[in-house]
Amino acid sequence: MPPHALDIPAFASTQLSLLSDELAAETASTSALLSSTSPTALSRAGLAILNLVLVSQRTGLGGKTVLELEQDHAVGNAGEIGDHGIRVGDIVKVGEQPKGSERKKDKAAMEGRGVEGVVVRIGHKAVQVALGKEEEDSEGLRGRLWIVKIANDVTYRRMNQTMESLRKLGEGQYTTLIRVLFGLDSPSPVSLDPVEMADPVGQLEFCDPTLNDSQKDAIRFALVSKEVALIHGPPGTGKTYTLIELILQLVKRKLRILVCGPSNISVDNIVERLAPHKLPIIRLGHPARLLPSVLNHSLDVLTRTSDAAEIVKDVRKELDAKQASIKKTRNGRERRAIYGDMKELRKEYREREKQCVTNLVGGSKVVLATLHGAGGFQLRNERFDVVIIDEASQALEAQCWVPLLSAKKVILAGDHLQLPPTIKSMNTKAQPGKAKADSSPANKEIRETTLEVTLFDRLLRLHGASIKRMLTTQYRMHEKIMKFPSDEMYDSKLIAADAVKGRLLKDLPYEVQDNDDTREALVFYDTQGGSFPEKVEDERSEKNTKGAIMSDSKSNEMEAALVKLHVMNLIEAGVLAEDIAVVTPYNAQVALLAQNLKEQYPAIELGSVDGFQGREKEAIIVSLVRSNPEHEIGFLAEKRRLNGK
Ligand SMILES: Nc1ncnc2c1ncn2[C@@H]1O[C@H](COP(=O)(O)OP(=O)(O)OP(=O)(O)O)[C@@H](O)[C@H]1O
């Protein structure tokens, strides 16, 4: 084996162990909360909606049963649901609401009761939940109900299955791509010779004439690479923009492509930009989780509306009729009979739907899904020439493998110099289950890996910069703002596009005064010294945990006051509140800023640095919080945290 080759079974075992720690950390917090907290407290924490009644149900997209729940009028809130933190797309359990007195006794029983589903619509008075495939109907949901948000372990199940499959592969079953991605083979050498570029479609002609040179270069490179290509896109350099052209070029070459990203929004972003090009594309995924603008391309929607959907129409009608007839009968035996019929009909529906899905997916040149969505039944027998993963440096490596086990070529787009995916567990080093006891550098690397090491990082380390191309022109920041990330992270290689390099707040397309705050691209407030002390909420938490929890513990009141002052100056000068964002690494500071600003300026966006990565605003105020005689800066020492806006 080449010296840097990784032992694949050991790698997969390590991932499995890291993932199980991570899932445990994630569920521990939610389930501890669920079992120890009363429904009222859960509702107050925004995790549950109480006092609901079932008012109707229908067959929704994909043959799923959709329950409509309303506030029980007997409770006396004038039918209003009230405040809560449940959003469309959340996974919830719908069940009978435990009564205060029997709560403890009921807890265990409740775990098994109720049905799971996804919130598809939520308003002031009603909430709709689409049940999962296994949860076929609402039989048993009577009386006063509640919905409660539950942890979503589906993504973990997929990652575990994938890593299990990888672990069990015999060496003879490794594809060329697998061999390259683990260093058993080197990537095939790439030549950008124009003659070689004269591929099936002839000389490379770009569909978009505005692409810049680094973007064109990255596209050429990704086209000719045989197994793997990395597109490194620093903030605002048009990573997605480049991927769109790349997809068009691949389609021109009659290749079939699977495009994935770690989150629904990352995938929808591409669907939205690809849609105007009128290619046959399909977006997999629960419609409740997709942006409204991409629904036309959703597989679930097309199984209702396209020509291919004719074969399921009759069955759906029959299902709806049965569902309506349940309401009319009070007789238990008749109801049971109807439920029995519906079960049969659903089976028939699913079989026909499967056929319809196969036709639709099979006819698509470009299929788009989240990484874990790519592991669904719809793609079980589908083969693609190229898999593209956007925001690859935000994805766990195990997640990337879901579409890669049977792939031939992968193109990863990302930026390993921005924050990696957020990890909750503390697993810096895993216990590799069956790792061989050899001490080669590669296997040492496996033993010392964490979930923060992404496939993008690992491949760069394994094969070096020759497998990557970097986009260098950014379209987001004034030159002066760009200078810090460029010098610190990107070897001073970033260039500001003409359109942004001198752009100032005073030049916004609406009336803004020209003053000290609006004609400077970058303003610093020095908060060193005794007057701006940071406040530590809980000293211990910093020592025991990292990331998000530690970040709960710091705030700085004087600095928050300064932020407010600057916001007021900007607004007085004419900058609109919705064009301003205030970000800070510490959650305690987010809370403090919210107290100071939210009421007066509701349109200002406040958030954590980690949550804002990749977003844009005209004016960004960063509140760094740390100020202490020891000059400690805690997790701000992570350079990637200061990069990316
Ligand atoms: N060649 C180009 N000419 C003009 N504008 C461009 C070009 N490339 C990208 N842009 C613009 O730059 C902005 C950023 O592009 P895009 O969203 O694709 O970047 P990104 O690298 O994916 O961003 P992020 O940093 O959020 O990952 C967009 O407004 C896009 O229209």
Taking the domains of the chain in order of start, what are their residue ranges?
37-152, 175-279+365-418+450-468, 307-359, 477-503, 504-642
Confidence at residue 342, expressed as pLDDT on a 0 to 100 scale: 85
Distance 473 CA to ligand 1 centre (A): 9
Distance 198 CA to ligand 1 centre (A): 28
Confidence at residue 641, expressed as pLDDT on a 0 to 100 scale: 62
ipTM of the assembly?
Answer: 0.96
Distance 478 CA to ligand 1 centre (A): 14
Region 189-198: what's the mean pLDDT?
Answer: 67
| Overall CATH class of domain 37-152 | mainly beta
How far does Cα 219 stand from its chain's mean position? 25
Whole-angstrom distance, CA of residue 82 vs CA of residue 33: 21
CATH number for the segment(s) 504-642: 3.40.50.300
pTM value is: 0.79
Half-sphere exposure of 455 (CA within 13 A, CB side): 29
How far is residue 456 from each of residues 10, 17, 406, 539, measured CA to CA in Å? 19, 21, 19, 35
Distance 242 CA to ligand 1 centre (A): 8
Residue 260: pLDDT over 60:
yes
Does the C-beta of 239 come closer than 6 Å to ligand 1? yes
Confidence band, pLDDT 50/70/90 cuts, at residue 540 = very low
Ligand 1 atom 28: the closest Cα is on which residue? 238
Tell me whether strands 126-131 and 65-71 are parallel, antiparallel or unpaired: antiparallel
119: part of which helix (H) or strand (E)? strand 115-122
Contacts of 269 (CB under 8 A, 6+ apart): 240, 261, 390
Residues in the chain: 645
Does the C-beta of 187 come closer than 6 Å to ligand 1? no
Ligand 1 atom 25: the closest Cα is on which residue? 235
Give the architecture (CATH level 2) of 175-279+365-418+450-468.
3-Layer(aba) Sandwich (3.40)
Strand-by-strand arrangement of the 468-470 sheet: 281-283, 366-370, 257-261, 386-389, 410-414, 228-232, 468-470
Q: Does 504-642 match 175-279+365-418+450-468 at the fold level?
A: yes
Does the C-beta of 432 come closer than 6 Å to ligand 1? no
**In this predicted structure, which of 150-154, 422-426, 447-451, 610-614 has the lowest mean pLDDT?**
610-614
Does the C-beta of 269 come closer than 6 Å to ligand 1? no
Q: What's the pLDDT tens digit per position in 110-148? A: 555 778 888 888 888 889 998 876 556 666 777 889 998
- 228: phi then psi, degrees, rounded to nearest 5: -145, 140
Ligand 1 atom 7: the closest Cα is on which residue? 238
